[in-house]
Chains A and B, each alone.
Chain A
Amino acid sequence: MTRPDGETREYDIVIIGSGAGGGTVAQELAPMVAQGVRILVLEQGARLEEHEFTGRELEMSSALYEDAGGFLTADGTMTLAFGRAYGGSTVVYTGTSLIAPDRVIRSWCVPGLDFSDVERRSQKFMAQNDVHYLPRVLLNDNNKLFVTGCARVGAKAEQFPLNLRGCKGSSLCNMGCPNAAKMGTHRVQLPAAERGDVEVVTRAEALRIENHAVVARVHERRPGEKGLPSSWAPGDYRITARMVVAAGGSIGTSALLLRSPALAALRGVGERFTCHPAHILVAEHEREITNDVGHPKSYYLDRAEHEGYVLETCMYFPFVTAKNLTGFGVEHSTFMRAFPRLQMILVLACDKAVPGNRITVDAAGKAVVHYTFTPAVIRSMVSATRMSARIFFAAGARRVHAPSADPTLIEREQAYRLDDLIVERHFLPGRISVSAAHLMGGCAMGQEGASVTDSRGRVHGMPWLRVADSSLFPDSVEVNPYLTVMALADRVAEGIRDDWRA
């Protein structure tokens, strides 16, 4: 039957999103297909062919990121990066695989959720995704200098476990690995689900959720666009299902629920948004270093518990680097021309959920993210910037670019004055570049009445609707979030299987 919403299709379970959450749920539910359960995954982005991962900055960011990676918060002071492709953000992350700390899970106070369960499930996916430490031969100077600098300032850099298989060190992780080496859901969980006859439809944008149904629009592949056409004809569809699983990420899922009139009674959607606001810090060395070859993010320094920040190695592409250097003109150009001598550190603040930092939708239903830097976040970022500058200089850098300093370039001779030069009053939102890629919260787990879902992603009062992504986090996770998303999605899938049997 055709309705105003277009063609109607029937499934038993519809999963919206194919990233760490949706991909995991799809894989874990796939065995149910053999029992006659029809499962569909809707993914807004495209499925790229191997040869389309070129590593070219502009074309890949347009193909793989929402708003080409330039999604801005409502007041325009922060850029949010999240994936929009078959595999979601797992296509564009660097594969760093850390288990959420015990103290964080405890602080979330979610009834029914404990660390040992998260840990056990995280380990399952670490094994599945081939998580291991990169051999020394594949480490570049950018990472080695971080280790050296940390050691010289009395800090211990830790190596990231990474989910790679056959990494060639292209350094292009954030543009989608051109060598199919990163074990995201597009390489592991989604293919497994499809082998189990779960249907995955790409270019399918979920417009709204209705009672036991999803209204979706399948988009045409435009001329020159990367990716395969959708397996469904372009147009609108109303897809009925006994169960709907929202896994479109913190922003995607929150916006979808908020623009769905059938879910208007839900309270707390969009709230408790956190994102680990980040700076890219850059230092110039006297000599060329290997930075744009090798895995970019191999080490980190964890100061989350007591100082509210984490430092990670990183290396970005020319445009992203230019954007993240504060200022413009001669000094900026001079720094850019030193590209082969640049070392980079990513500073992440472990922000806390506060009222006001939340996701809403505009009149057209598009997500709007409201975010204000709290004094605690500014303090953490400034403190982390000072620490990074110490590490850079200890590693031999001749000058450091510090966004929260005026002037932003600090020469080696001034290294003894870092506490005076890098100060909170120079953290000027709107002038300095802040970006975030760890988007969390919006459909928080917790007690009924004070949250959106229970600990298994069941939306309170709507057992047919589940959430399975980082929007479940009641507060920031303080580590790279994908593994925790997979662990929680695994719990959601288990809950669905249990409920189905019942």
Chain B
Amino acid sequence: MSGSVLAPVRATFRAVAEAVVREAASLSPEGWRELEAQVETALASRPEAMQRQLVTFLRVIEYLPLLKHFRRFSRLSLDARTGILRGLEFSTRPLFRRGMWGLRTLVFLGYYTRDDVQGALGYRAHADGWSARRTTAEMRAAAAEPLGEG
């Protein structure tokens, strides 16, 4: 599979992503492009068979609601989409559970590796470690703290 994996199923992928991470709904067009670029990069190193499975799974998700909701997945409300994805997550068929796990993992990869998102979460890991956080006095205080039951 050459070129974009998500291109033929982009609308479905975005509709899934918004249900998986609600905050994704407020991403700018540029933000979406960045998220999808990360996902595409991750998919590029995966076997073509896996890429095809993903596309097929997204197509199944897109048309599955027609049976019950008479509308395609990407045209459903956020709550309805969440309900459908929840059904897949708890499906008695391991294939659907694994598919859903893989899909949500891709969305998380695209969303939670963004610098702005990590910053907003309060994630502050820094190469300088403690010296980027504590003053010398704080280090001394930390050394004196009791450890254990306290």
Contact = CB atoms under 8 A, between A and B. Distances in A.
Interface of A: 54-55, 57-58, 67-68, 70, 75-77, 135-139, 144, 147-148, 151-152, 167-172, 178-179, 288, 290, 292-294, 317-319, 321-323, 327-330, 332-333, 336-337, 339-340, 428-431, 433
B124 interface: yes
Contacts, number: 142
Q: Which of B100, B111, B142, B149 has the most CB of A within 10 A?
A: B142
B105 A170 contact: no
B23 A333 contact: yes
Nearest to A406: B90
A148 B108 CA distance: 32
Contact of B108 (A144, A169, A323, A337): A323
Main secondary structure of the interface of B (DSSP, over half): helix
A430 B21 contact: no
Contacts of B20: 328-329, 332
Given A57-B113, A75-B94, A328-B20, A431 B129 contact: no
Nearest to A53: B127
A329 B19 contact: yes
A188 to B, nearest CB: 21
Nearest to B109: A319
A137 B112 contact: no
7 contacts: A67-B45, A68-B45, A169-B129, A170-B127, A292-B124, A318-B118, A428-B97
Interface of B: 19-23, 38, 42, 45-46, 82, 85-86, 89-90, 94, 97-98, 100-102, 104-105, 107-109, 111-113, 117-118, 121-133, 139-140, 142-143, 145, 147-150
A122 to B, nearest CB: 27
A453 B121 CA distance: 50
A172 B143 CA distance: 22
B121 A58 contact: no
A294 B139 CA distance: 12
A349 B98 CA distance: 21
B148 to A, nearest CB: 5
Contacts of A318: 112-113, 117-118, 121, 123
B108 to A, nearest CB: 4
Given A168-B130, A340-B122, 7 more contacts: A136-B145, A136-B147, A171-B125, A178-B127, A293-B125, A329-B85, A333-B22
Interface centre among A138, A179, A329 (most CB of B within 10 A): A329
B5 to A, nearest CB: 15
Contact of B149 (A68, A137, A148): A148
Contacts of B46: 67
A30 to B, nearest CB: 32
Contacts of B139: 137
Given A137-B142, A169-B129, A172-B125, A329 B22 contact: yes
Contacts of A340: 121-124
A381 to B, nearest CB: 17
Nearest to B143: A137
A42 to B, nearest CB: 21
B110 to A, nearest CB: 9
B98 A322 contact: no
B142 A171 contact: no
A336 B20 CA distance: 12
A340 B117 CA distance: 13
Contacts of A167: 129
Nearest to B95: A430
B85 A328 contact: yes
Nearest to A67: B45
A317 B121 CA distance: 11
A412 to B, nearest CB: 19
B112 A322 contact: yes
B35 to A, nearest CB: 12
Contacts of A330: 22
Contacts of A54: 127
A317 B147 contact: no
Given A169-B130, A318-B113, A328-B19, A431 B101 contact: yes
